[in-house]
Homo-oligomer: A and B are copies of this chain.
Amino acid sequence: MMTALGDPTRQAILDRLSDGPRPVGELADGLPVSRPAVSQHLKVLKDVGLVLDRQVGTRRLYRVDPAGLALLRSHLDQFWQRSLEAFESTIEDQEGASDDDPAD
């Protein structure tokens, strides 16, 4: 999932989709790559659960999947949590070797 977000084009696609649902052709128009390329990127994003698609008439509307975004956010939050805890522990190891409240 994080890996899928590594590509700049996919970031751009997801960025446009965050403004609302878009058909493939319209996405491709605003990007420096061909329409099939956009289709392939959309497939990747869909496989990892970051976008949803629905057929409407002759075109296919893609939009951001809130659930996928929630997953991404929770992962990052867990990561954030662990890092902060480790950060505080490190400080304690450095300065707190003698005291419990090193106020400077």
Contact = CB atoms under 8 A, between A and B. Distances in A.
Interface string A38-52: 000000000000000
A63 B88 CA distance: 12
Interface string A12-37: 00110111110000000000000000
Contact of A84 (B6, B17, B66): B66
Main secondary structure of the interface of A (DSSP, over half): helix
Chain A interface residue number, banded: 20 to 34
A2 B5 contact: yes
A1 to B, nearest CB: 10
A73 B75 CA distance: 11
A19 B77 CA distance: 14
